[in-house]
A and B are shown apart, each in its own frame.
Chain A
Amino acid sequence: MARFSTKTNPKYFHRSQLKFYFILIPISAFMILPILFIFSQAFKPLDELFLYPPRFFVKRPTLFNFFQLFNAARGSNIPISRYFMNSILTAFFSVILTILISVFAGYVLSKKKFKSKNLLFTVNNLALMFVPIAVIIPRYIIVQSLGLIDTFIINILSLLVMPVGVFLVKQFIDQIPDSLLEAAFVDGANDLQIIFKILVPLLKPAISTVGILAFQIAWNSSEASVYYINNENLRTFAFYASNLTQVAGNTIAGQGIAAAAGLIMFIPNLVLFIIMQSRVMNTMANSGLK
């Protein structure tokens, strides 16, 4: 007995939904045009990049910019594959470890009973609002005193604390009935068995979400490379790309290179999200702060 001809979360199309399309289409156009531009720009040959008046879409696509990008690294003695490898390794390990750490912490914060539990969760929620750049100086001092300057591991370590990850996993585990875990306890399972045999399969959406977020952060982050690493061999592609464009961004060849690098930075994030989006939405349904 709905009063309105349309309702939230409809199953079928109805004429009254058209008005929402009228509002959403122009907004989405504004959101997506710069994204299309990233694609288009990356495949433009030199003369199209500097055409006057400028043309938005590429007419004669070419891979020239990508070759230029790979060539640009040759001058610096370090092959671009090195930066890629560093990025891939960093992303891989930080995703795996972030998931493990978040699941462990989320499980403890959700299902264990001990005194300082609520305090820990409150502190974690406060840390959701933490902006690393605000304390970049003390962080540098700590990293230095731990002797981690110019080590590969700092690329990964500096990314592992993800309060959002712990938070999302914890909220998700809250939905899982205690009785299920208690039954496993009675059958003699220990915490690790419970986590890996029971929780992990049930937590797939939350784990995928944390994985995607961790990947996005790791893949886009150049913080460690900028502040903690002086050895060019240990730096990541994100750093290389942004550095390259700062140096070469205003030169003629630079714009094409920047466009190609920008696309390489963007694509993995997008693909991962498209594949996993239904799981992400599933996790988000439990993401309320209480």
Chain B
Amino acid sequence: MTKKVRKYNHWFLISPYLILFTIFIVLPVVISIYLSFTYFNAIEKPSWIGIQNYITLMTRDEIFMQKVLPNTIKYSLIVGVGGYLLSFTLAWLIAQLTPIPRTIFALIIYSPSLTAGITMTVVWRVLFNGDQQGYLNALLLKYGFIDKAIQWLQSPEYLMDIMIVVSLWSSMGIGFLAMLAGILNVDESLYEAAYIDGIRTRLQEVIYITIPAMKPQMLFGAVMSIVNTFTTAGIGVALSGSNPTPQYAGQLMVNHIEDYGFYRYEMGYAAALSVVLLLIIWFFSRVAWRLFGER
């Protein structure tokens, strides 16, 4: 191999990734930004309308302002932030055990995140079924808490809460594993030193030693938590079986995008929604970097 070839070798090695990355991630984002300034119904050519879509989004889309945005904020705060705190807490608790039980607990807590899509129908829809054969209804009826079966998944007042429970259940993914590994790898001598310096409680130990020592894993966990939040966002539709969800109770940005893009064919407007969603995700990630990034 000549020297010159070797000098540019890395471009050959990385090119498959770069090409696919460009096609499936970079280009879609660029096109999305362009389309968001157009009217596009998927049949005719997109026509440039400036920031009209964004104006509509801010002023005329009542469903977005009244339902989708508040839903999204509530959902992502509870599932994103709550799920993150929960996965750190669980990882820390598990790390206090001996290896064999630790492995078993880790496996149990990780396994829900392996389930996808169809498990919604198998487990959760059966559990929350609206008739007496739904497990929750049967249980509540039996002990006399309610005297009439409740339509859990079709009632606007319950849908969001159920979505949050189900999302939290399945949110201990690789972020959780990374944090567990991070906690287990904290240098023992750090703890020893801290005991000498007078750390007295478990909480102090966690705050002053464990978390600072595993900042990189905390950041990775946070990023994965953000991803998880927005990728599980489809479950409202999966649970209730319809898009839009009943009275938009479980409608999140992702569902709103699908609604406009694939049912109403207002692709330009859907693209504007996508751009806003990307901005929101980017904002959250900045917050995570601020909190845990090493400068």
| Best-surrounded residue of A100, A164, A287 (most CB of chain B within 10 A) | A287
B122 part of interface (Cβ distance < 8 Å): yes
CB contacts under 8 Å to A, within B159-205, are 169, 172, 174, 177-178, 180-186, 188, 191-192, 195-196, 199-200, 202, 205
Q: Are B13 and A191 neighbours in the complex by a CB distance under 8 Å? A: yes
A112 to B11, CA, bound (A): 10
B231 part of interface (Cβ distance < 8 Å): yes
CB-contact partner of A104 in B13, B126, B241, under 8 A: B13
A91 to B52, CA, bound (A): 43
Q: Are B20 and A161 neighbours in the complex by a CB distance under 8 Å? A: yes
A207 to B1, CA, bound (A): 28
Q: Are B230 and A131 neighbours in the complex by a CB distance under 8 Å? A: yes
Q: Are B182 and A288 neighbours in the complex by a CB distance under 8 Å? A: yes
CB-contact partner of B132 in A52, A249, A274, A287, under 8 A: A52
Residues of chain A lying within 8 A (CB to CB) of residue B132: 52-53
Residues of chain B lying within 8 A (CB to CB) of residue A281: 177, 180-181, 184
Interface string of A249-290 (1 = CB under 8 A from B): 100000100110111011001100110010011101101111
Q: Are B108 and A31 neighbours in the complex by a CB distance under 8 Å? A: yes
Q: Are A284 and B223 neighbours in the complex by a CB distance under 8 Å? A: no
A259 to B184, CA, bound (A): 37
Taking chain A's interface residues, is the majority helix, strand, or loop, or is none over half, making it mixed? helix
Residues of chain B lying within 8 A (CB to CB) of residue A125: 223
A6 to B97, CA, bound (A): 9
B125 part of interface (Cβ distance < 8 Å): yes
Interface string of B110-143 (1 = CB under 8 A from A): 1110111111011111110000111100100010
Q: Are A24 and B94 neighbours in the complex by a CB distance under 8 Å? A: yes
Closest partner residue, chain A, to B254 (CB atom): A133
CB contacts under 8 Å to B, within A128-170, are 128-139, 141-142, 146, 157-158, 160-161, 163-164, 166
A127 part of interface (Cβ distance < 8 Å): yes
Q: Are B178 and A287 neighbours in the complex by a CB distance under 8 Å? A: yes
Distance from A156 Cβ to chain B, minimum over Cβ atoms (Å) = 11
Q: Are A284 and B271 neighbours in the complex by a CB distance under 8 Å? A: no
Residues of chain B lying within 8 A (CB to CB) of residue A12: 98
Distance from A3 Cβ to chain B, minimum over Cβ atoms (Å) = 4
B226 part of interface (Cβ distance < 8 Å): yes
A32 to B137, CA, bound (A): 21
A169 to B3, CA, bound (A): 27
CB-contact partner of B115 in A23, A38, A289, under 8 A: A38
Q: Are B117 and A134 neighbours in the complex by a CB distance under 8 Å? A: no
A11 to B95, CA, bound (A): 11
CB contacts under 8 Å to A, within B27-42, are 27-32, 35
B277 part of interface (Cβ distance < 8 Å): yes
In this complex, the interface size class of chain A, counting residues with CB under 8 Å from chain B, is 35 or more
A2 to B95, CA, bound (A): 17
CB-contact partner of A158 in B24, B111, B123, B169, under 8 A: B24
Q: Are B182 and A285 neighbours in the complex by a CB distance under 8 Å? A: yes
Distance from A171 Cβ to chain B, minimum over Cβ atoms (Å) = 9
Q: Are A246 and B223 neighbours in the complex by a CB distance under 8 Å? A: no
B73 part of interface (Cβ distance < 8 Å): no
Q: Are A1 and B107 neighbours in the complex by a CB distance under 8 Å? A: no
Q: Are B191 and A7 neighbours in the complex by a CB distance under 8 Å? A: yes
Q: Are A138 and B35 neighbours in the complex by a CB distance under 8 Å? A: yes
B235 part of interface (Cβ distance < 8 Å): no
Closest partner residue, chain B, to A107 (CB atom): B13
A86 part of interface (Cβ distance < 8 Å): no
A32 to B169, CA, bound (A): 10
Residues of chain A lying within 8 A (CB to CB) of residue B233: 133
A141 to B264, CA, bound (A): 17
Interface string of B271-285 (1 = CB under 8 A from A): 100100110011001
Q: Are B14 and A108 neighbours in the complex by a CB distance under 8 Å? A: yes
A177 part of interface (Cβ distance < 8 Å): no
Q: Are A108 and B10 neighbours in the complex by a CB distance under 8 Å? A: yes
CB-contact partner of A41 in B110, B122, B220, under 8 A: B122
Residues of chain B lying within 8 A (CB to CB) of residue A137: 32, 35, 261, 267, 270-271, 274
B47 part of interface (Cβ distance < 8 Å): no
Closest partner residue, chain A, to B34 (CB atom): A138
A79 to B172, CA, bound (A): 36
Q: Report which A residues bind B (CB closer than 8 A).
A: 1-4, 6-13, 17, 20-21, 23-24, 27-28, 30-32, 34-35, 37-38, 41-42, 50-54, 56, 100-102, 104-105, 107-109, 112, 114, 120, 123-139, 141-142, 146, 157-158, 160-161, 163-164, 166, 190-191, 213, 216, 220, 222, 238, 241-242, 245-246, 249, 255, 258-259, 261-263, 265-266, 269-270, 273-274, 277, 280-282, 284-285, 287-290
Q: Report which B residues bind A (CB closer than 8 A).
A: 1, 6, 9-10, 13-14, 16-18, 20-21, 23-32, 35, 90, 93-99, 101, 103, 105-112, 114-119, 121-127, 132-135, 138, 142, 169, 172, 174, 177-178, 180-186, 188, 191-192, 195-196, 199-200, 202, 205, 210, 214-217, 219-220, 223-224, 226-227, 230-231, 233-234, 241, 254, 257-258, 261, 267, 270-271, 274, 277-278, 281-282, 285, 292-294
Would you list 9 pairs from A and B whose C-beta atoms are within 8 A, ordered by A residue? A41-B122, A128-B223, A128-B227, A133-B258, A134-B32, A137-B261, A164-B224, A191-B10, A262-B121
Across chains A and B, which 3 residue pairs bring their CB atoms closest together, nearest first? A288-B216, A138-B31, A262-B122
